[in-house]
Structure 1
Amino acid sequence: MAAKFAFYPPNPPSYNILVDEETGKMRISDVHQRDDVDVDVLKLTTKRGNEIVAMYIKNASASLTLLYSHGNAADLGLMFHIFSELSLHLNVNLMGYDYSGYGQSSGKASEQDTYADIEAAYKCLEETYGVKEEDIILYGQSVGSGPTLELAVRLPQLRAVILHSPILSGLRVMYPVKRTFWFDIYKNIDKIPLVECPVLVIHGTEDDVVDFSHGKQLWELCKEKYEPLWIKGGNHCNLELYPEYLRHLRKFISAIEKLPRLRNVSEQKTTDEVVVAAESSSSGNNTNTTEQVIILDKSRPSTDLKEKDKGRPSIGQRSEKSRLSTDSSSREKSRSSTDKRDKSRKSVDRSGKARNSVDQPDRARNSFDRLGDMVRSVGFCNVDCLKQTAAEA
């Protein structure tokens, strides 16, 4: 049931795999490859037995490598040109891959399969291309934020993470639940506080597939925050079209390149850690182009922990605040007993209104209907995947 809602591979796939008769190298069909772009197309076997397709774009002057997990309703054929442009303009190597069941990858997509898929791509970077953990930046777009954060929490020396229109969790896209249930998928809200490296979050303020609040809350929960990019008016599928998208990514990559490589975890616990941040990060203003590197002493209380608590108050915290407020109210009421009965009745009425608002069945049903329409129409996608959907419509 979760897979039905979460995964929407292009059908049919947007490409085929062709083999060059002279060189024996594989290539992706139906795409125009620039002469200055060096691409390897590979087939990787995952630990769950699926064979996935990956592509590795080599940039001769790059020092960092981007491992990109694309959004839903997309595959390597649709992402080929975006990957090529990112590699060129950000001056990075780039590894992209198709999830099981996407493109020409075998199997059928599931949460656990996507975790095995990104692990296979990461191992290929290490074993085939000699890329080190501390030189890798994980990039997760939309549903790709799930496998990205799953891998990020297991890589303590990772250089950085980029989350593009990310989700708090699969269920929270469907309905704004306040707690995590066992049957939920991609529980990013619980994983993001465990990521040790700098995190950049990009989200459009008018996203009608994954609400802007998802990206904002994930950023608030980050340990090492980098100045976020909130694209005013941006939707779920068009952020690449805004000039500030590429400009902000360039600034982030430049700042990350200046960071020293992370030492092992035991050393990090006893020494200062380099953290990338922005001068106006707390305000969420994306117009400031000043790069800033801040050294935070781990032995002192971190302001990020305060941000984290503020960004995601627990049920217990809310209950405690409510209890304190009630106690204070009770003491006031004891001083003015004549109004006590009326105030109590008003309080009950207000509670009843709040409860009716939360439990209103029509709002819940409409929320699920909207999700169904979104999944059927575009899913979690990128710009190019809309073309086929629009033509069919």
Structure 2
Amino acid sequence: MSSFREICEIFCCPPFPSKIASKLAFVPPEPSYSLVNDTENNFSLRFQESAEWQYTADEKIYVEGIYTRTKRGNKIACFHMKCCDDAVYTILFSHGNAVDMGHMSSFYCGLGKWLNCNVFSYDYSGYGASEGTPTEKDLYADIEAAFLVLTTKYKVKPAHVILYGQSIGTVPTVDLATRQQVGAVILHSALMSGLRVLCPGTSRTWFFDAFPVIDKIEKVTVPTLVIHGKNDNVIDISHGFRIYERCPKAVEPLWVEGHGHDDVDCRCGAYLERLRFFIHVELAQQ
């Protein structure tokens, strides 16, 4: 909760959106992996101990690390994880803050196997093995570049792409979903906007706000699943409620009892079952 003085400073001397974004969102960790160039277009993936890869060395061969370049000029790292031979959908995962793809790799592998989906992810500019400095504009360019690789190099049809955003990852996820007709969207611990996180009770989007997810969600026209922990003390569950209410194609949401911001994961049975039902039952009925 911001102090009264901080709130007055924000509204009397409004910051640029980039200032809100940097205060709220971007804390790149020490890289937990590296991509070592073996040949011109072939990279070996090497995990640091901090990545805590939980699977075998044989299973790691199904994780392909590549680079692509965004329209803003940054070279960003991507992972393609072939979790299933017969997967219909590929999840394009935009992770949360203070982690990179190495930290998320075991989660991606487990999630893909459980859901019978392949997983594609990318690191934001300035995260992991990606170049540059993270900004709001770079978030949008990063996911756009990742989507292009997924649909061209890996030849996944847009209708077979499920966009999954977690926390700050919901920002580029919703932005891309307003511009691409994908198969579905999953929003996990989503935020309405940057200022609404910093100053709870803010009821409108000011011109100096960052990450205006709440204003873009009305333009998302594919099935959308909203997931939020009821005990989230980073992004209050009220953000999830409002996004669900404003989303024209929202399916039944999942409000997770007894869980917060970072602990709704593969250890949570209700989470896994809701995802599985969404992908294999509700999407099949569309």
Q: Which bin holds the TM-score, normalised by the shorter protein?
A: 0.7 to 0.9
Instruction: Give aligned-pair identity as a percent.
Output: 43
- Helix, strand or coil at the partner of 1:16: strand
- Counterpart position of 2:24: 6
The 8 Å contact of residues 137 and 158 in structure 1, kept in 2 or not, is answered as: yes
- Counterpart position of 2:117: 92
- Counterpart position of 1:50: 74
- Counterpart position of 1:349: none
Unaligned runs of 5+ in 1: 260-273, 275-393
- Counterpart position of 2:268: 242
Deviations 1:317-372 (A, max 9, x none): xxxxxxxxxxxxxxxxxxxxxxxxxxxxxxxxxxxxxxxxxxxxxxxxxxxxxxxx
Cα distance in structure 2, aligned partners of 1:119 and 1:73: 21
State the Cα distance separating 1:29 from its structure 2 match: 1.7
State the Cα distance separating 1:225 from its structure 2 match: 1.9
Q: Could you tell me which of 70, 77, 80 is aligned with 2:102?
A: 77
State the Cα distance separating 1:83 from its structure 2 match: 0.6
Bigger fraction of residues in helix: 1
- Counterpart position of 2:183: 159
- Counterpart position of 1:25: 43
Counterpart residue type for residue 9 of structure 1: V
- Counterpart position of 1:219: 244
The 8 Å contact of residues 19 and 27 in structure 1, kept in 2 or not, is answered as: no
- Counterpart position of 1:181: 206
State the Cα distance separating 1:24 from its structure 2 match: 4.5
Counterpart residue type for residue 272 of structure 2: L
State the Cα distance separating 1:5 from its structure 2 match: 1.3
The 8 Å contact of residues 164 and 203 in structure 1, kept in 2 or not, is answered as: yes
- Counterpart position of 2:284: 258
- Helix, strand or coil at the partner of 1:225: coil
Cα distance in structure 1, aligned partners of 2:80 and 2:258: 33
Aligned positions of 1:103-118 closer than 5 A: 103-118=128-143
State the Cα distance separating 1:243 from its structure 2 match: 1.5
- Counterpart position of 1:204: 229
- Helix, strand or coil at the partner of 1:84: helix
- Counterpart position of 1:357: none
Aligned positions of 1:1-393 closer than 5 A: 1-19=19-37, 24-30=42-48, 31=51, 32=53, 33-34=55-56, 35-36=58-59, 38-58=62-82, 59-155=84-180, 157-175=181-199, 176-240=201-265, 241-259=267-285, 274=286
Alpha carbon RMSD of aligned pairs, Å?
1.7
Deviations 1:284-343 (A, max 9, x none): xxxxxxxxxxxxxxxxxxxxxxxxxxxxxxxxxxxxxxxxxxxxxxxxxxxxxxxxxxxx
Bigger Rg, structure 1 or 2? 1
- Helix, strand or coil at the partner of 2:33: coil
Deviations 1:39-79 (A, max 9, x none): 11011100000011110011211001110000011101110
Cα distance in structure 2, aligned partners of 1:177 and 1:95: 35
Stretch deviating more after TM superposition (178-187 or 162-171): 178-187
Cα distance in structure 1, aligned partners of 2:196 and 2:159: 32
Cα distance in structure 1, aligned partners of 2:31 and 2:63: 20
Deviations 1:225-284 (A, max 9, x none): 21111001111010113211111111111124514xxxxxxxxxxxxxx4xxxxxxxxxx
- Helix, strand or coil at the partner of 1:184: coil
Cα distance in structure 2, aligned partners of 1:192 and 1:40: 32
Q: Kindly tell me: are residues 11 and 135 of structure 1, through their superposed partners in 2, closer, same or farther at Cα, counting changes over 3 Å?
A: closer
Cα distance in structure 2, aligned partners of 1:47 and 1:83: 26
- Helix, strand or coil at the partner of 1:224: coil
Counterpart residue type for residue 172 of structure 1: R
State the Cα distance separating 1:183 from its structure 2 match: 1.4
State the Cα distance separating 1:26 from its structure 2 match: 2.3
